[in-house]
Structure 1
Amino acid sequence: MALGIDIYRYQTVTDWNAVRGSGVSFVYVKGSDGGGPALVRADAQVRGAQSVDLPVGLYHYAQLSPSPEAQANVLTAEVRRLDATGLPPALDLEDPHRPGPAARDFAFRFLNQLRANGFQSVTLYANTSMLTGINADTIGVPNTIVWAAQYGPNDGRRHPLRYNGRANIHQYTSVGGVPGISGQVDLNESLTELPGADMPLTQDDINRVANAVWEQHRPLLHDWSVMNPMWVWLVGANMGAWEAATRPFPPPPNPEEAVQKLAEAIAVPLREELSQRNGEPDVDAIAVAIARRFVPTEPTPTDQQA
């Protein structure tokens, strides 16, 4: 179990080291609202949490319009802009939404869009009346973290969560106090281990990896057949340099050896790209998988005829 806070412009953080020292171990910040970023951008609060190595994620306050997909895309853009991937992105589903089929449909579509945008885990925040009214347990979106708000007497202390559904986080008061924060703050208790956002590499990320491989291993890549058009797409920002590399070359004498050598070349910048992300990805396995796209290891029809 871990203590967390969620904050917005109503909370002024004066000392992030004091916040961390008080026992806070995760932070959600309001990042977007309806069709745009939050009125006060999350930059300062996200950077503050990151400065003391606190996992931080963003939440989105849901409005009735625009579409849930459009609102999910707004949140995605803010998460990417701030690299706020310490926690899964969260949907805050409350007023003006009301418990019932329409709110359930909104949540389903919003969370599905986050998944389509590349997030492996997503979070649904609501009070227990809303969670019951939309039957959150059967929302049908894989890897959904349920964040349940229920305060009881709302006296700053945690009281048992009285909710029959599944919950991963309990927001138990809105009048908490934390050293380093002026004013009252929402307090939360995680009931299970919380994953990070697990956001895969974006095209820009992969471009940086590919360009680094190209600059460091240009002669090696020129010697091999790089036929797959996916490689050209991955390095679109450096297309001119790749025109020569995409000319047809004969397959290497030992394709598996070529795969392993190219994987070693890819792994170095790939490891750097993933070093700030959550979890422990198998960089070597990812690099081999990428390398297999670029080096033909199966006999071509011509080879088979020969």
Structure 2
Amino acid sequence: MADGIDVFTLYQDVRDWHAVRGAGYEFCYVKVSDGDEDRADNGYGPAGHSAGLAMGAYHYAQFGDPVTQAERLVRRAETAGCTDLAPALDLEDPFGPDQRATDFAIAFLRRVAELGHRPCLYGNNNILGTVLGPAKAAVPETLVWAASYGAAPTVPYDVWQWSSSGNVPGISASSVDLNRGVIPVDAPGGSDVPLADLYTEDSMARIPKGGSEGGLERAVNYQLAVSMLREHDVVIAPGDMPVVVYGSYHWAWNAGTGGNPVTDPNNPVVVPVQGSYSYIVPRGTGKVDLIYWSDDDFTVFVAPR
């Protein structure tokens, strides 16, 4: 399971994508079009991608031609650099749970697939309850993004928008939509490759020196963001001075995930110069709190297992 957000530049001013990623969010949908009009993306696609998020685009549907609206979404997704995620159709007001919505969705999703992308359908329980069955029958590769606040969706889904009132570091906004599920990765041609196999992540971070000798109370905390989809190997490589590791605490969106390699912070791990130390971060972890002290910068490498 991964955590994600969706944003619209009119309402969510993302000022620090690294802070968003550091808070554990792994993917983001950006509203790029609405009916027959484009919406400003403010460069969110490349900026979020460079911070380690998978970025995608969504289109707010209006009455009209579903084919031209689908073509608008795909064009905007590609020009905005938001092609990590399956292009998503946002089907809500003015549509309702009826045949008109079903016909629109099928034509829209089919055109997205024809243009070489894996389509995604967003809606609430009410609309999806009517539209989802026929849409999946017509375009089987369609991913489902379901909105339901307070309780899990009553329809099958890949991503659940579980809140519309999130507060996310790095974003100036009264609220942010929060999502949870598989990362809805785009697959050219609607590939049947499992989503988790399409998302890989490895990164190297230069960790600043900090803390001082004297025990856990003089240590510092550096937060590492990792993908919740898999286990990771974390490798610590010192610079010109040893690194003293007091703990590595691992967190999902609302709970710890275990796996701290230091069983007793009173007996920390000392990683020597020209040496290294590695341990496993459990699947489901989105954030790592590395507790340490070192008199020199050092390197941490994170690699999916």
The answer, yes or no, to whether TM exceeds 0.5 is: yes
In 1: Cα distance, 2:183 partner to 2:29 partner = 15
How far 1:123 sits from its partner (Å)? 0.4
The answer (yes or no) to whether the contact 1:49–1:56 under 8 Å persists in 2 is yes
**1:7 paired residue number:** 7
In 1: Cα distance, 2:124 partner to 2:149 partner = 9
**1:21 paired residue number:** 22
CA deviations over 1:164-210 (Å, ceiling 9, x no partner):
x21001001110111111221000001x353224369xxxxxxxxxx
**1:138 paired residue number:** 134
Q: Which has the larger radius of gyration?
A: 1
1:113 and 2:111 matched: yes
The answer (yes or no) to whether the contact 1:15–1:181 under 8 Å persists in 2 is yes
1:172 and 2:173 matched: no
In 2: Cα distance, 1:162 partner to 1:4 partner = 17
Matches within 5 A, 1:108-257: 108-119=106-117, 121-134=118-131, 136-139=132-135, 140-152=138-150, 160-163=151-154, 165-183=155-173, 184-190=175-181, 192-198=182-188
In 1: Cα distance, 2:100 partner to 2:56 partner = 26
The answer (yes or no) to whether the contact 2:87–2:186 under 8 Å persists in 1 is no
Give the SS at the match of 1:178.
Answer: coil
How far 1:162 sits from its partner (Å)? 4.0
How far 1:111 sits from its partner (Å)? 0.3
**2:287 paired residue number:** none
Gapped regions of structure 2 (runs ≥ 5): 191-197, 201-305
Relative to structure 1, is the Cα distance of residues 47 and 92 closer, same or farther in structure 2, using a 3 angstrom cutoff?
same
Give the SS at the match of 2:43.
Answer: helix
Letter in 2 for 1:127: N
**1:267 paired residue number:** none
More strand by share: 2
How far 1:279 sits from its partner (Å)? 6.6
The answer (yes or no) to whether the contact 1:198–1:279 under 8 Å persists in 2 is no
In 2: Cα distance, 1:193 partner to 1:84 partner = 14
In 2: Cα distance, 1:89 partner to 1:99 partner = 22
1:101 and 2:99 matched: yes
More helix by share: 1
CA deviations over 1:26-78 (Å, ceiling 9, x no partner):
0000011111211xx1142223212212110100000002x000100111111
In 1: Cα distance, 2:91 partner to 2:54 partner = 22
**2:55 paired residue number:** 56
How far 1:137 sits from its partner (Å)? 2.9
TM-score, normalization: structure 1?
A: 0.59
**1:76 paired residue number:** 74
Give the SS at the match of 1:148.
Answer: strand
In 2: Cα distance, 1:4 partner to 1:144 partner = 19
**2:85 paired residue number:** 87
Relative to structure 1, is the Cα distance of residues 193 and 11 closer, same or farther in structure 2, using a 3 angstrom cutoff?
closer
The answer (yes or no) to whether the contact 1:99–1:133 under 8 Å persists in 2 is yes
The answer (yes or no) to whether the contact 2:102–2:134 under 8 Å persists in 1 is no
In 2: Cα distance, 1:53 partner to 1:198 partner = 21
TM-score, normalization: structure 2?
A: 0.59
Instruction: State percent identity of aligned pairs.
Output: 41
